[in-house]
Amino acid sequence: MAMTLAEKLCARACGQDKARPGEIVTAKVDLAMVHDSSGPRRVGPMLERLGAKVWDPSKLVVITDHYVPAIDAESAAILDLTRRWVADEGVENFHDMQGICHIVLPERGHLRPGMFIAGGDSHSTTGGAFGAFMMGIGATEMAGVLATGEIWVKVPPTIRIEWHGGLGLGACAKDMMLKLCGSLGMAVGNYKAIEFTGSTIAGMSMQERMVLSNMAAELGAKVGLIAPDETTLAYLREAGARLDDDAAAWQSDDDAEFEATHRFDAGALAPQVAAPHSPENAGDVGDIDDVAIDQAYIGACTGAKLSDLHMAAEILRGRSVARGTRLLVAPASVRVTAGAAADGTLAALTEAGAILMPSGCGACAGLGAGLLADGEVCISATARNFKGRMGHPGSLVYLASPYTVAASAVTGRITDPRAMLVEKAA
């Protein structure tokens, strides 16, 4: 029987030959991931009341990223609780202050195609870029996973999204996802798998593919999948992942049944901007009225990987941040920071006037430094711009790619980056 990639992953996890959309199965979890906000402080008390311990500490990854570095006594207490719980439970896969969980997990070789993974964060869909069924769940479900190593899941139908052609100047994966949010809406993937495919995806780096799977959450998807290929396997080998012999075989069958297929032309894609207060309010950057900004933010799992910092630096080399505008850069992990320091990217950013921030979720999650005051306007490389998410409910957040965020920082207004990139190439 022909199956989609999502159906194959669910079938493997529940020990069946096949799995069909709508079927409720009991899946064995290959890996669970929690962070300092979703993890020990929430699931710890539940496990204690149940008299349960972590079913297999070797299959749990704990990452501190939301409250790092501690800025007050409350955040310090949350981190202290996390560290003590990890030691008590014997969890060896603990990455403390190393970066954002969705970036650290693949960086450290924890992912591989064919896995079934429960993540304690809505953007856990990022793991789907590696051919794994990785979904975000809440603390109550996570407590069940940690106690039993299993979880009920309803096998999702799959929507296929095809992108073909080469991306134009100043466009990248973030623009692709904002285009999908604006065109398809944020409910199109509700309790469905989204599988990204097409020649555009085949030509992308893993860092760019991760943006697609990451922001599948903004389309409401349960998982955001990309079938593995040699690009996937090369990334994972370098990260030290132990790959199965059939790692590249995790593909949808040619005659698999998809609920719907949507096709897009990458070559026709202009840089996108999403207006407050939803990623769904996306459109071409040229359609945005003249908007002055107070802050530009390059951070978070969506927008501060090394490739994202490279985009920003391409704009900022030889230019300066506009007077009265602040550009904050929070690399997604300490390894990203090290890579950007080694190749001169950090120097290009800071020489232009960017302020370097610690690695972590930070202002994207309304935590730490970089929050907005009432009435302030920010353009951000993050995934969400819900009302009050980055500070005061009266602030306004626009979403865009690192190219567009950097160009806007230079002018102090929301700006199409293409003219600056053309000038650079001349």
Of 207, 230, 265, the domain-final residue: 265
Same domain, 212 and 357: no
Same domain, 251 and 329: no
Into how many domains does the chain fold? 2
Span 295-350, pLDDT tens digits = 999 999 999 999 999 999 999 999 999 999 999 999 999 999 999 999 999 999 99
Span 101-138, pLDDT tens digits = 999 999 999 999 999 999 999 999 999 999 999 999 99
425, amino acid identity: A
pLDDT higher than threshold 80 for residue 424: no
- Residue-number span of the structural domain to which 405 is assigned: 271-425
What are 195's strand-pairing partners? 160, 225
| CATH code, domain carrying 277 | 3.30.499.10
Distance of CA 36 to the CA centre of its chain: 17
213 HSE (CA, 13 A, CB side): 31
Task: Note the pLDDT of residue 71.
Answer: 93
3 state SS of 235: helix
Total residues found in the chain within this entry: 426
pTM for the model stands at 0.97
Same domain, 254 and 129: yes
Output the six-digit token pair for 133. Answer: 């069924």
Q: How confident is the model at residue 368 (pLDDT cuts 50, 70, 90)?
A: confident
Same domain, 168 and 281: no
Span 222-256, pLDDT tens digits = 999 999 999 999 999 999 999 989 999 999 999 99
Same domain, 15 and 114: yes
Average pLDDT value over all residues in the chain: 97
Same domain, 135 and 240: yes
Task: Note the pLDDT of residue 356.
Answer: 97
Same domain, 308 and 386: yes
Same domain, 10 and 104: yes
Of 248, 265, 282, the domain-final residue: 265
Span 149-189, pLDDT tens digits = 999 999 999 999 999 999 999 999 999 999 999 999 999 99
Same domain, 176 and 203: yes
Same domain, 406 and 305: yes
3 state SS of 26: strand
H/E run at residue 82 = helix 73-89
Q: How confident is the model at residue 382 (pLDDT cuts 50, 70, 90)?
A: very high
Residue 49, C-beta contacts closer than 8 angstroms, at least 6 positions apart: none
Task: Note the pLDDT of residue 130.
Answer: 98
Q: Where do the H-state alpha helices sit in 258-358?
A: 300-303, 306-316, 334-342, 345-351
